[in-house]
Structure 1
Amino acid sequence: MPDGDDGSRDAAAHARGRLISAVDVVRGRLTAATLPLEGTGVAEARARRHDILAQIDDYLLPRLRSDGAPLLVVVGGSTGAGKSTLVNSVLGAALTTPGVLRPTTRSPVLVHHPADAPWFAPERILPTLTRVHTTTVASGGSSVAERDGTAASGVRALRLAPFAGMPPGLALLDAPDIDSVEVANRELAAQLLAAADLWLFVTTGARYADAVPWELFRAAAGRHAQLALVLDRVDAGGEAVVADLRRMMLEHDLGDAPLFVVPEARLDPDGLLPDAAVADISGWLTDLGGSADARDDVALATRDGVLADLAEAVQGVAAAADGQAASAARLRQIVEGAYADASSQIATATTDGAMLRGEVLTRWQDFVGASTFMRSIERGVSRARDAVVSFLRGGEPDAKPVELAIASGLEAITIDAMETARERVRSAWRSDPAGAGILVDAGATAGVTGVSTADLRSAIAEQIRAWQGDVLAIVQEQGADRRGLARGLSFGVNGLGVALMLVVFGSTGGLTGIEVGVAGGTALLAQKVLEAVFGDDAVRRLTAEASERLSRRLGSLLEADASIALTAVTALAVSESAGDELRDAAEELTRASADERRARVVSAPRAASPVPALRGAHLRAVDIAARGVSAEASGAPTTSGPAEEPRKPGFWQWLLGRQG
């Protein structure tokens, strides 16, 4: 039982709860920060984020929420290192699958004492792996594993193998090869190692210097993960290999990690190594299983290291999240800038007189030439008002050709501006890794920058027709307010509407009174016509209203087209505050972890309890030496550390690098 009063226990429980909550918050923040935009270093940040989430789910939260859970020892190593044979030899039963098929298996085997089954049957650890159960195997018996189709079907599964000879409180997991030819198996091996309380890493004299395991070792040393190495299949006279491996361990801050040496030996008919070959490893694991204090030391050391590594890693993901927010803002600015320029381009082209040239001018001149009224306006503006009434009563010339010419000109201006904006967005996004990824995902010709040109032209034409209807409605409404012109306007609305359109295109919105004569007095003449009918002040007001409606209708087209690209960015749910939220969560995790360590209730020393001895444990090298038989003569392995002494308090702390 914990040593201390109820207050200390309550404080420890509260601190543990706060720590679990802090890890949950970190998990939530990481889940939300998906890092969807491409960019420098993003792929690495995504992989790190994925690994962090996997370790939180597979190891950290299960370990925090399940005090007293069995210690999980994951046996990993390179292809052909003999992991499965070693595990089977330690257990004395063929519970795992050695041989050439091993690199392709997707069902790692977890061996545990039957009494520990409730810890592993549910998805407490490694929740993404389907559970596959085998028939209970008696100590020293043969495996009678049930057949299943998980490996053949490609489903990742965790095969649970209860074994009565396994010490309670200890479980061995035989992982796939870390350098498997299959990417999925390499990923699974890394996932299993990240979920371990303790690594038992197996290599050989031919493979111990490979780069892949040392990358894992560096990561393990960085977060103080508990690790032991097994140098397997060492030929006689292999002292130089052992010495070189020890040198590399020292260089990589693994000098305190136990190193077991297993000699090359002939397998027995059951495919197992001799008892003496696995004696030290079996004895080490048996002692670990029999000491609750030792198991707690290992679990807490690994857990504390993972927490420290997690807080630092989250800071890195936070920096990547900041980059995502900056990329999203940059993409939005590209779109907003391109379409703001398109709006300015349209506004300039529809107010500087450019619309009063070409086809519009020709049709207007035809309209003017067909009217005795218009010629009278040219001869004397002072007689315009009387001429208007007389002209309108005599019939209205056809203004439709001018309307069509105006619509065609507006359409060309608007399409040119919008297509220019689209191309600016496409070009800028293509040169930006974040934008290029969105364009690739869109996969269509128009992509995220709008509908097809044909549909765009149709939408523009519809808005222009609607605006021309607006202008006619404005003229008609103004004429209805002037009773003396009501009868005449019933015939002249289209002509006056066309004149108002031309005034919009040939002046600064009609707001300043500045008249702009363009193309032979086109706008001037149109303005004088309207002034003759409605008066100066009314013309200014009508022109401003017509101009505002044109801007609003064409602006709606620009906004709709721009919104397609902006929505593509928004849909990625890149949060501007994700980086700050991750940093805050990491800082709270650091504080909660420190408080939990301070509040941790110190356990009273517990005596080792008798447990089932793993195969060969009784043949410890020290026992062989005591009988006067050399380890070399017996075929027993040697550890690379100091010769063993009788067990004493703190032995496991010393053996696992926790001295002091």
Structure 2
Amino acid sequence: MTSRNEHDDHARPEPAAGAVALLEGVRDGLADVTLPLALPDAEHARLEAASAVRQLDDYILPRYRSLDAPLLAVVGGSTGAGKSTLVNALVGHPVTRAGAIRPTTRQPILLHNPSEAAWFEGQRVLPGLSRIRGVLAGGNVPSSRAGAEPDVGAMSSLVLLADPAVPGGVALLDAPDVDSISDENRKLAGQLLAAADLWIFVTTANRYADAVPWKLLLNAAARDIMVAVVLDRVPPGAEAEVSEDLRALLNREGLGGAQLFIIPETTLDPMGMLPEGMVRPLRVWLEDLAADTAGRSDVARRTLNGAVRALAERVSRIAQAAREQQRAAAGLEAGAVSAYGDAAGRIMEATRDGALLRGEVLARWQDFVGTGEFFRSLEQNVGRFRDRLGAFFRGEPPPAVRVEAAIETGLQAVILDEAANAAEETDQRWRADPAGRRLLGTDDLSGASAGFADRAAAEIRAWQEALMELIRTEGQGKRTQARWLSFGINGLGAALMIVVFSMTAGLTGLEIGVAGGTAVVGQRLLEAVFGEDAVRRMAEKAREDLAVRCRRLLDEEQQKFLSRLPDRQDIADSALTAHADALARLAGSA
């Protein structure tokens, strides 16, 4: 008997080694697929990815690594079709349990020639199923008590049974019912059929057109797998009619090459066995296949290539699902970015349309510069204006900080209001989308975040400090320095803030005489100290700095939405698309 290690160490051609490397990469890529967004096809695509990983582990990778391993013939079919009875007949004695209680086969049994035990004792195929070494029953055990006791807890194990009656080169696997009342049985049956080199599909004369078996048979056609169909319990005299109808169905669905075997309706013997010779044609076909090394190799390669071709199509569909995830995530992200970008625009618009020069800010500024007497000074020449201001500032300390505080309060209110508007808009957009709604869950993000008001206030104060530093930097020349020192840094800063908030003020009517006139005072004051060009430059720089800070505040705030989006790598499709193309080339090269 050849050892397991000797089988594993068989040298394989370089193309096969390259194929294995590709398939291992595909397997890892599929295992990483999450598709986290709640899109209509996401759940199906996730199930497809998991199923593809299982088939790679159970069949495709093992077969590529061991092209000379025995064929695995899975015996499958509908409930009560007689699968276990057929398996017992093929080996000539009861080895697997048959009977009327459903489901009979819970624990799959793999029958192999004793000389080929090493191929199946390890985890080469179906690695997710643990191994149990079975023992052949004596000759007096009927089929109703043969094999393993039905055990719902044994679904994750595979009973290995060495039997000299199984020809070397082919192993038989008795699978659960494909339409079992047990969900776990159905899943396991599908998994085992996906791991097969060939199928022996058992159906009956009154159930051969059922939908569930045909769904699996169509899957076999897509994989180009070799199929032998056993039509069981055919009433006397109906063989020709039923077999002709079944053959027509097979031809129509692309399975015209399937072997068809007929088992007439008959009475089982006391051991629960079919009469000797009833399955002789099927047994001879299996023995001939087992004895034909080249034929077995052709079957293995044909099934393997079909499985890879089907896998390529499956991976392509999963890649499409990943692209849909990307589009959905991009749409949700764009919705949030747009809402917060619009909010930033509205904040800056509020700082230029004169809105902030009304109310408390206007009152504090007028308190600072005086009212009628100060405005009348605008009619005097610049020198006299400067002297009067200098005298004013050198008196009792002016309340410039009140202007700064009023500006901070007013600007903070605008920022908070627009952040709340952006949050509400984004929340509504996301909740209108199933994927966004799932990401938000029961959390309410429709207002400004806790602590945002403090962050906004701190950012405004930082902007005001930067504005003061801008004035200091601009007034470095000795002559200018004397001027701005005479006016006072806080007073100039307050004036510059007023100018910033009125750069393109769209004021009309009586407001021109109040807010507009107020801005003119500040601008004249600054121009008297720094000159017209410098004032324009400082105001533009201060305004740009404010815009950057507001945008940064809102960028940070929108992260409460964007942080819920999946990592781009989790929904990337580029590797999947490349893998699908490579798999198609691999299947086409054989």
| Match of residue 459 from structure 1 | 455
Distance in structure 1 (CA, Å) of the matches to 2:519 and 2:120: 86
Equivalent position to 1:540, from 530, 533, 536? 536
| Match of residue 129 from structure 2 | 130
Change (3 A) 1:122 1:442: farther
Distance in structure 1 (CA, Å) of the matches to 2:282 and 2:194: 22
| Match of residue 521 from structure 1 | 517
CA shift, 1:343, in A, is 2.2
Alignment of 1:18-417 (within 5 A): 18-31=18-31, 34-39=34-39, 41-99=41-99, 103=103, 107-127=107-127, 129-137=128-136, 151-152=152-153, 156-239=156-239, 240-369=241-370, 374=374, 377-378=377-378, 380=380, 382=382, 383-417=384-418
Does the 8 Å CA contact 1:27/1:53 hold for their aligned counterparts? yes
Aligned partner of residue 76 in structure 1, secondary structure: strand
CA shift, 1:471, in A, is 2.9
Counterpart residue identity of residue 522, structure 1: T
Distance in structure 2 (CA, Å) of the matches to 1:41 and 1:104: 35
Gap regions ≥5 residues in structure 2: 1-9, 506-511
1:511-539: CA deviation from partner (whole Å, max 9, x where unpaired): xxxxx876252211222233344443443
Counterpart residue identity of residue 358, structure 1: G
Counterpart residue identity of residue 466, structure 2: D
1:236-259: CA deviation from partner (whole Å, max 9, x where unpaired): 344344443233222222233122
Distance in structure 1 (CA, Å) of the matches to 2:581 and 2:293: 32
Distance in structure 2 (CA, Å) of the matches to 1:99 and 1:461: 80
Change (3 A) 1:146 1:189: closer
| Match of residue 638 from structure 1 | none
1:441-467: CA deviation from partner (whole Å, max 9, x where unpaired): 3425245x8x85333333222222322
Indicate yes or no: 2:496 matched with 1:497.
no
CA shift, 1:75, in A, is 1.2
CA shift, 1:179, in A, is 1.8
| Match of residue 443 from structure 2 | 445
Counterpart residue identity of residue 368, structure 2: F
Change (3 A) 1:352 1:86: same
1:59-107: CA deviation from partner (whole Å, max 9, x where unpaired): 1111111021111011111222232233234334544344577549764
Aligned partner of residue 172 in structure 2, secondary structure: strand
> 567-576 or 340-349: which moved more?
567-576
CA shift, 1:497, in A, is 2.4
Distance in structure 2 (CA, Å) of the matches to 1:283 and 1:131: 32
CA shift, 1:229, in A, is 1.4
Distance in structure 2 (CA, Å) of the matches to 1:21 and 1:479: 69
Aligned partner of residue 190 in structure 1, secondary structure: helix
Does the 8 Å CA contact 2:197/2:300 hold for their aligned counterparts? yes
How well do the aligned residues superpose, as a CA RMSD in angstroms? 3.5
Equivalent position to 1:469, from 446, 465, 482? 465
Does the 8 Å CA contact 2:375/2:521 hold for their aligned counterparts? no
Counterpart residue identity of residue 389, structure 1: G
Distance in structure 2 (CA, Å) of the matches to 1:62 and 1:141: 38
Distance in structure 2 (CA, Å) of the matches to 1:441 and 1:529: 54
Counterpart residue identity of residue 256, structure 1: G
Does the 8 Å CA contact 1:353/1:518 hold for their aligned counterparts? no
Does the 8 Å CA contact 2:137/2:146 hold for their aligned counterparts? no
Does the 8 Å CA contact 2:33/2:46 hold for their aligned counterparts? no
Gap regions ≥5 residues in structure 1: 1-9, 510-515, 598-660
Distance in structure 2 (CA, Å) of the matches to 1:140 and 1:291: 31
| Match of residue 427 from structure 1 | 428
Distance in structure 2 (CA, Å) of the matches to 1:476 and 1:587: 64
CA shift, 1:569, in A, is 3.6
Does the 8 Å CA contact 2:134/2:160 hold for their aligned counterparts? no
Aligned partner of residue 453 in structure 1, secondary structure: coil
Counterpart residue identity of residue 14, structure 1: E
| Match of residue 571 from structure 1 | 567
Does the 8 Å CA contact 1:18/1:592 hold for their aligned counterparts? no
Does the 8 Å CA contact 2:390/2:486 hold for their aligned counterparts? yes
Does the 8 Å CA contact 1:396/1:495 hold for their aligned counterparts? no
Does the 8 Å CA contact 1:388/1:532 hold for their aligned counterparts? no
Distance in structure 2 (CA, Å) of the matches to 1:582 and 1:36: 16
| Match of residue 3 from structure 2 | none
CA shift, 1:199, in A, is 0.7
Instruction: Please give the TM-score of this superposition, normalised by the length of structure 2.
Output: 0.84
Does the 8 Å CA contact 1:113/1:165 hold for their aligned counterparts? yes
> 519-528 or 323-332: which moved more?
323-332
Change (3 A) 1:381 1:145: farther
After TM superposition, the runs of 4+ consecutive aligned structure 1 residues lying more than 6 A away are: 143-149
1:102-143: CA deviation from partner (whole Å, max 9, x where unpaired): 54976422222232222122221122x231312442785858
Counterpart residue identity of residue 546, structure 2: L
1:414-439: CA deviation from partner (whole Å, max 9, x where unpaired): 2233333333433334444xxx3244
Instruction: Please give the TM-score of this superposition, normalised by the length of structure 1.
Output: 0.76
Aligned partner of residue 232 in structure 1, secondary structure: strand
Does the 8 Å CA contact 1:139/1:163 hold for their aligned counterparts? no
Aligned partner of residue 13 in structure 2, secondary structure: helix
Counterpart residue identity of residue 409, structure 2: S
Counterpart residue identity of residue 559, structure 1: D
Change (3 A) 1:164 1:518: farther
> 466-475 or 96-105: which moved more?
96-105
Distance in structure 2 (CA, Å) of the matches to 1:395 and 1:534: 24
Counterpart residue identity of residue 413, structure 1: V
> 523-532 or 320-329: which moved more?
320-329
Counterpart residue identity of residue 443, structure 1: G
Does the 8 Å CA contact 1:114/1:136 hold for their aligned counterparts? no
Counterpart residue identity of residue 221, structure 2: A
> 79-88 or 67-76: which moved more?
79-88
Does the 8 Å CA contact 2:78/2:203 hold for their aligned counterparts? yes
1:371-404: CA deviation from partner (whole Å, max 9, x where unpaired): 8984564564632211222122212232344333
1:557-594: CA deviation from partner (whole Å, max 9, x where unpaired): 12223344444445142566x34x54544444444444
Distance in structure 1 (CA, Å) of the matches to 2:214 and 2:381: 95
1:19-65: CA deviation from partner (whole Å, max 9, x where unpaired): 33443444455455554445464444444444333322221111111
Distance in structure 2 (CA, Å) of the matches to 1:378 and 1:104: 104
Aligned partner of residue 390 in structure 2, secondary structure: helix
Counterpart residue identity of residue 490, structure 2: N
Q: Percent identity?
A: 43
Change (3 A) 1:508 1:452: closer
